[in-house]
Amino acid sequence: MEKSTERFPLAHVFGFVMSLVLTFVAAWVALEMNLSFTIVMWIIGTLAVIQAGLQLFMFMHMTEGEDGKVNIINIAFMVFCAVVIVVGSIWVLTSGHAAH
Amino acid sequence: MSANVNTSLPLEYQTEQSRMNILGFWIFLGAEIVLFATLFSVYGVLYKNYAGGPTHQDIFMMKEVMIQTVLLLTSSFTMGVAIWEMRRNNKKGLIGWFILTLLLGAGFLFMEINEFIHYVHEGATMQTSAFLSSLFVLLGTHGAHVTFGIFWATMVIIQIVKRGLTPVTARKTFIIGLYWHFLDVVWIFIFTFVYLKGMVL
């Protein structure tokens, strides 16, 4: 975290180009390649997580400031909660459904 | 305003109050992550319950979705540049990039509303099936956040114009910046796990 003195927002342009590349690669893998559903979901899911990390670290400066560590713990815990909610709900409801 | 102002830090971090506000907003964003997680889990459970209505491939328009995605990604970038300009103490640059961000956001919203109208014309309404109910709730909650963000940001811009760059206006700008980037993060997951997933089913 510092007052910027550079004359060109290089990190932001890099982050922007990277997110465009990740978006189009994901679209290409999903729409143009003939891979199985599971493989496509693993690839585009990974790309989405990378892109979200890019936003958090390069655009939102999550780690900066005296509260940087608190931010990371907070977001990591909430992401954990989110995964439990989403994966847990789908797991319980679909496997319960399939068993009957 | 607290008396101990640390001028070695960027404007938005200079007072204890501002640092607390920014930390508090991060905690709010954590709660927002969980809010969207509940909507994603509803969609993830119900996404194949078409009830005889249209399926993903029947209604999704990928070209329009790609344009929406690029608009929102670009607006997240311009928001980042706006904050960067703020840290260079360039008020004009900040306002210019900020307004551009909102125009891109408005473009995104316009396309999303058209998308919803198109769906309804195709006979895909919120009442048609569980798939469409969960889809409209997820997309609608995200779109409502963008709408709210545009109104909020407009008011922050008015404050910057009237009061200039102060520790208070800088902190408000930084916080709406965080909010705006967060909406882009949510969209990445909607794009991946709603649209792309729907097209490869």
Of B34, B185, B199, the CB nearest to A52: B185
Q: What pLDDT score was predicted for residue A59?
A: 87
Q: What pLDDT score was predicted for residue B122?
A: 92
Q: Average model confidence (pLDDT) for chain A?
A: 88
- Which residue in chain A has the smallest CA separation from B7? A3
Q: Provide the chain B residues 145-184 that lie in CB contact (below 8 A) with chain A.
A: 177-178, 181-182, 184
Q: What pLDDT score was predicted for residue B1?
A: 47
Residue B88 CB neighbour total at 10 angstroms: 15
Enumerate residue ranges in chain A where pLDDT < 50.
Answer: none
Q: What pLDDT score was predicted for residue B153?
A: 97
Instruction: Report d(CA B182, CA B66) in Å as an integer.
Output: 19
Residue B132 CB neighbour total at 10 angstroms: 24
Q: Do A31 and B62 touch (CB under 8 A)?
A: yes
Per-residue DSSP letter, B122: T
Contacts A37 to B, Cβ<8 Å:
200-201
Per the listing, tokens 């690839």 go with A43
Q: What is the ipTM of this complex?
A: 0.90
Q: What pLDDT score was predicted for residue A95?
A: 81
Tell me the two tokens of residue A80: 């954990």
* Chain A touched by B12 (CB under 8 Å): no
Spatial contact of B72 and B183, defined as CB atoms under 8 Å apart: yes
Identify each DSSP E strand in A1-98 by its residue range.
none
Q: What pLDDT score was predicted for residue A98?
A: 64
Contacts B197 to A, Cβ<8 Å:
30, 41, 44
Q: Do B41 and A86 touch (CB under 8 A)?
A: yes
Share of chain B above pLDDT 70, in %: 99
**pTM: predicted TM-score of the whole model, two decimal places:** 0.93
Of B73, B87, B200, the CB nearest to A20: B73
Nearest-neighbour CA in chain A from B143: distance (Å): 18
Query: How many CA atoms are closer than 13 Å to the CA of A91, on its beta-carbon side?
Result: 6
Instruction: Report d(CA B122, CA B127) in Å as an integer.
Output: 13
Enumerate residue ranges in chain B where pLDDT < 70.
Answer: 1-3
Q: Do A81 and B37 touch (CB under 8 A)?
A: yes
**Which amino acid belongs to residue A52?**
A
Q: Do B23 and A70 touch (CB under 8 A)?
A: yes
Tell me the two tokens of residue A84: 């439990």
* Chain B touched by A45 (CB under 8 Å): yes
Spatial contact of A30 and A44, defined as CB atoms under 8 Å apart: yes
Q: Do B87 and A4 touch (CB under 8 A)?
A: yes
Task: Give me the DSSP letters along A22-40.
Answer: HHHHHHHHHHTS---HHHH
The tens digit of pLDDT for each residue in B119-135 reads 999 999 999 999 999 99
